[in-house]
């Protein structure tokens, strides 16, 4: 089977590697253009490009898929199917109609739940216990195509976006191989659009902590907003990133107003909504390294009643 592979971030690398290991022919890989990164803003290739070049594959990095020259280069491959994993482009109708087996997308949720750009983040933020991966036929909607196969994956209590992404990428790679092997026997299943939920792209402001929320909800956000935009607040006029935190199950005697910080023995505790409290275990003050919260509390010499903003 001859494929065009479309993907960009690290999440998409595993599926590419599994397809190659299973002997699928991939004469062309599409990925996003190189982007400036780091302090020097040097151009850096996306992870899928690096993986494709290591495998000796041809890489094409169009900025726009609708350009006639781009469409001509894609059409010239005459693929049996197009595989799309976290590509970052909307696939145009001409490309959807091109392969006889269709454009097959791997989505990191159990569709129709969490359609959109950030399904892993939002599943954690919303406190889900189960998520999964779905292969689907791409249509002209946003993650609305017919479902081919699905695989459930549990969300552990300590999972962050990074750890859950790694597991979902492994399961997704296996599911895509199974889908392509069985494509002739699979009966596509329409989605029930009434059950759809959405996972919009994250914005910087999504990371700002609202201390009036219960501690459990804030803890979900801390885990689900890693590595970007990261849960953050303002402390003494500086941005403070919260990297690890958990609800306090047995509350200290003293109550705390939302946003108030207190060094409770070896713990750093913050007041939250509904009378709850959050134990912060790892954080990072603007311009400094990530450290354990107890070291932060010792170094900052917290004042009684001191609050974040």
Residue stretches of the chain with pLDDT short of 50: none
User: Is 179 within 8 Å of 104 (Cβ atoms)?
Assistant: yes
In this prediction, residue 301 carries a pLDDT of 84
Last residue of a domain, which of 168, 195, 222? Answer: 195
Helix 47-54 to helix 13-21 angle (10° resolution) is: 20
In this prediction, residue 109 carries a pLDDT of 98
Tokens of 292: 């354990």
167 membership: H or E segment, kind and range: helix 161-181
Whole domain around residue 288: which residue ranges? 204-300
Percentage of the chain beyond pLDDT 70 is: 99
Q: Looking at the domain assignment, is residue 141 inside a domain? A: yes
Split into its structural domains, the chain has a count of 2
Is 214 found in the same domain as 72?
A: no
Q: Looking at the domain assignment, is residue 306 inside a domain? A: no
In this prediction, residue 303 carries a pLDDT of 85
């Amino acid at each position: 089977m001859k494929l065009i592979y479309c993907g960009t971030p690290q999440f998409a690398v595993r599926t590419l590697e599994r397809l190659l290991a299973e002997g699928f022919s991939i004469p062309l890989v599409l990925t996003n253009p190189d982007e400036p990164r780091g302090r020097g803003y040097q151009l850096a290739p996306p992870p899928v490009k690096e993986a494709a070049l290591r495998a000796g594959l041809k890489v094409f990095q169009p900025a726009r898929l609708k350009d006639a020259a781009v469409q001509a280069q894609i059409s010239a491959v005459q693929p049996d199917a197009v595989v799309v994993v976290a590509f970052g482009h909307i696939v145009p109708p001409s490309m959807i109609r091109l392969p006889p087996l269709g454009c097959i997308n791997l989505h990191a949720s159990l569709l129709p739940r969490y359609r959109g750009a950030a399904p892993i983040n939002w599943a954690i933020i919303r406190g889900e216990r189960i998520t999964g991966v779905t292969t689907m036929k791409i249509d002209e909607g946003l993650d609305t195509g017919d479902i081919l196969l699905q695989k459930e994956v549990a969300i552990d209590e300590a999972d962050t976006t990074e750890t859950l992404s790694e597991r979902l990428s492994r399961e997704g790679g296996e599911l895509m191989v199974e889908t392509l092997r069985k494509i002739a026997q699979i009966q596509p299943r329409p989605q029930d659009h009434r059950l759809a939920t959405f996972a919009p792209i994250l914005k910087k402001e999504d990371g700002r902590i609202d201390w009036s929320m219960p501690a459990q909800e804030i803890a979900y956000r801390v885990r689900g907003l890693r590595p970007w935009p990261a849960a953050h607040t303002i402390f003494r006029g500086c941005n403070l990133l919260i990297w690890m935190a958990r609800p306090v199950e047995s509350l200290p005697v003293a109550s705390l107003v939302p946003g108030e910080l207190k060094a409770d023995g070896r713990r750093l505790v913050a007041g939250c909504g509904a009378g709850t409290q959050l134990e912060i275990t790892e954080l990072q003050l603007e311009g400094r390294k990530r450290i354990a919260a107890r070291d932060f509390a010792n170094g900052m010499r917290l004042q009684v009643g001191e609050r974040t903003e």
